[in-house]
Structures are given as structure tokens and as C-alpha cells.
Amino acid sequence: MPRSFKRGGLLVETYRELTPAAPWELLPLPSRAILSASQFPGHSTQWLVGVGDQIEEEQLIAQGQPLGLHSPIPGTVEAIQELTLPDGTKTSALTVVLGGEFRKTGHPRSPRDWAKESPEALKTRLFQLGVALCDKVDGSITAPLKALVINAVQPEPYMTLGLRIIEDKQTEWSEAVKILQKIFQPQATWLALDHDKPHESPTLSPDASIHVKVLASRYPQAQRNLLLSALGLEKIASDELLIVDPETLLAVYQAVVWDKAYVDKPVVVSGNAAVRPGVYRVKIGTPLKDLVTYTGGLAEGTLVLQGGPFRGTEVTDLSQPVLKSTSAIVLMSRKKAHQTQQRECTHCGSCAELCPVGIRPLYLWQALEAQDLEGVKAEGLDRCVSCGLCSFICPSRIPLFEHFSRAQGLFSPQGVRGE
């Protein structure tokens, strides 16, 4: 029996059969790229170019702490405007109109002998080329580490990018692991996988230094604390541990071995309403409309999600761009989303049954409604991992996840969460 976290959760369909092993298609270049100053939640960059400037492919156009943002296409800066991302974040966006010469794409590159470089130089280059290290986007990580964890657990149904990279790009991610091992000198390296059918475990031949752990396919296994619990690493302090996903490994490989800035990325298009599901290689900044149209378009009544069915954000405006943090576009039929109006709570207990951290969501919600701060604290708002299972399972469709997310945002570290 594969290991998993201790309680709650949901055994879910993975829908891996929708995106079987196949060559990744390259999406045609966008005629306009929309580059958001915020590519990851909570991270932003400052523009280094202005309207009317001519820019080159892979030119550094914005700088943040410590990540840079590069232009995916050559062209002219047409505008810098405010952009509201699907999750409601307001940021600035720069529009580049395609034009000029490609000086990188189509030209041969030679691999770098990175083994001769110092760990610090490698780390600096990663950040300069715009590669974020997952939960350490701000770069706040120092060697040596106790553990490096490669989180290839499928985060949600349909979100199969990690598995596709692990299976299809074994050479690339294996080398990326060696690069990270050199930079961060972990005492141990773990590869966490999951599979819904025991006989379908990926055929891997990883480096002997990697401990492979196959876990049960149980949502929300990919969540940081639950993953560490399933691996038995929960006692390692946060600053002695680095968790990266396969997508990041691919970006590390491209940056360090081929000296390539993070300007394109693989995105999975899947879902029960996807016409041509698969993995597509897309330039950062490509409007989602281009991606959706290329993969077969949208039927009437399709729900477009950036992310998975549990935690994904609905995209109502398809002019939104692909971000560095976009790993999946899930197209769901609204009929199969089972959206109904909110009803009164029937005290069924399903929310508590599935909660992976042992919260009583119903009572937490009641405490929030009553603005009972002591009750909120006692019911464990700070333990909520925002997996969305309570809202998903609630037959009365009470938006528990929304209430908790909003409340977590409201309570400052000096308040409920930090006490």
C-alpha cells in the first residue's frame, strides 16, 4: 500500500490517460506578448524598458528580487498598462508587438560545462535567467540543505505536467537535479511520485543518489506539509529544505546547460471539455486565447480554469497571458462542474471527514460568521492549507474555502495566525 498523509483527503481520478506520452507541440509565436510584472503570487518586478523601445529576444526587460523577466519575442514595446490577473491581483503588464530578428531561436547553442562553475555562480545565473525555485521565489535559501525534494506528485486531477516531464524528459531533469545538488549540497535527495494504478508506475532509472518514493494518489498530497508528512520529513526545518517541481527542474536545465532565459514553458491543456488535450510548449506572455484556440477551441458552456478543478482560478477573459506560474489550463464542462445555489448547512460532516489537517470547517465557518476571534483561533484557521476539499464536497455548496482564504488574508501575523 503506497504511503500517504495521515488523515482526510480524497482519492481522486487523475485523468492521466488524456495526456499520454507524446512529443510536445510547439505553439505558434504570439503576435503580441503580454508580460505581467507579477509572474508568481506575491512576487513582482520593475520594468527596465519603456513604451516605444525596441527589444530583443531573451532581453532582460524587468528586474525583481532576485528574479529577472525576459522578453520571449523580439519586437517593440507597445504599452504598459494595469492588468488584473485571474486571481484578482492587480499588476502592471507590458505588451510587446512581434517584430525584428530572432537572434537566439533557430541558432545553434553549445552546452555549458557547468561542473566547473561555483555553486554561487550557478545560483546567481538561475535567478538572473528568471528561474524561480518554487516555494523559495525570493531566493531565501542557503546551502547546505538537509533535503532536496522533487515534488512530482500530481497536484490535482488533469494537472499532469509533472508526470509528463518525469517520463518524457528524464535526461533533462536528471541533470537539473545534479545542478541543484551542486548548488545546495543536500544530505539527501527525494523524488516523490504518485500513481493511481500500481502497475502504471513510471519506468525510471534515476541517479543512485535519489530516493524514489511512490505515494498514493490522494488529494492534496502535493501540498507542502502533507507531502513532507507522507515522506516522513516533517521534522526538517523550512530553511533546511528545498522542494522543487519537475517544471522548475526543466527550467534549471535550460538555464544552466543551455544558458537560456525562462521565456517559454510547457503547459498542459486538459479537462473533460478539452478538444486536443496534451502538453504544449508556449512562450511566456502568450494570450490564453491563442493557446485555447490552437488546442481546439471552446464549446458553449465551458469553464476555463488556470490550474486544477479544486484550486484553479476561473479565467473569464482569455486575453490573460501565460505566466511562469501557469502549468495547466483545465477546460471543464459547466454541466459536469455540479454548480448549484447555496443552501442551508445540513450538518452532514463531510467537510470534517475530508479535511486533511483535522479542522472542523463547519464550526470554523460559524466562528467566522459570528466574528468570534477566539473561536476562529480555537478551530484552527492557521492550520487550513486552502486545499478546497471542504467546499468541493459540501452538498449545500457553502463557500467554506472562500471564507477561510479571505480570513487568512485578513488576519495579520500579529493576529490569529501569529499568536
Site of interaction with other proteins (CB under 8 A): 7, 87-88, 303, 305, 309-314, 332, 337-341, 343-349, 352-353, 358, 360, 362-363, 366, 380, 388, 391-397, 399, 401-402, 405-406
210, 177 contact by CB (below 8 A):
yes
In the bound state with other proteins, the residue whose beta carbon lies nearer, of 94 and 159, is 159
Maximal C-alpha separation, the chain: 65
Q: Least distance in Å: CB of 316 to other proteins?
A: 9
Q: Least distance in Å: CB of 332 to other proteins?
A: 6
Nearest residue to 382 (alpha-carbon basis) of 359, 403, 351 = 359
Instruction: Give helix 170-184 / helix 119-128 axis angle, nearest 10°.
Output: 120
Q: Least distance in Å: CB of 140 to other proteins?
A: 28
Placement of cell 518524457 in the chain: 168
Q: Least distance in Å: CB of 354 to other proteins?
A: 10
Q: Least distance in Å: CB of 352 to other proteins?
A: 6
Residue 321 DSSP label: B
Instruction: Give helix 161-168 / helix 246-258 axis angle, nearest 10°.
Output: 50
For the beta sheet containing 45-47, the strands, ordered from the edge strand earlier in sequence to the opposite edge, are 45-47, 60-64, 68-70
Give the integer Cα–Cα distance in Å for 177 and 252.
9
R_g of the chain, CA atoms, integer Å:
22
Query: How many other C-beta atoms can be found within 10 angstroms of the C-beta atom of residue 164?
Result: 21
Give the integer Cα–Cα distance in Å for 275 and 295.
6
Give the integer Cα–Cα distance in Å for 154 and 66.
28
Find the DSSP H helices in 93-187: 119-128, 161-168, 170-184
Q: Least distance in Å: CB of 392 to other proteins?
A: 6
Give the integer Cα–Cα distance in Å for 308 and 153.
14
365 φ/ψ sector (left φ>0, alpha ψ -120 to 50, else beta): alpha
Placement of cell 531561436 in the chain: 105
Q: Least distance in Å: CB of 391 to other proteins?
A: 4
Give the integer Cα–Cα distance in Å for 197 and 206.
21
Q: Least distance in Å: CB of 349 to other proteins?
A: 4
In the bound state with other proteins, the residue whose beta carbon lies nearer, of 116 and 235, is 235
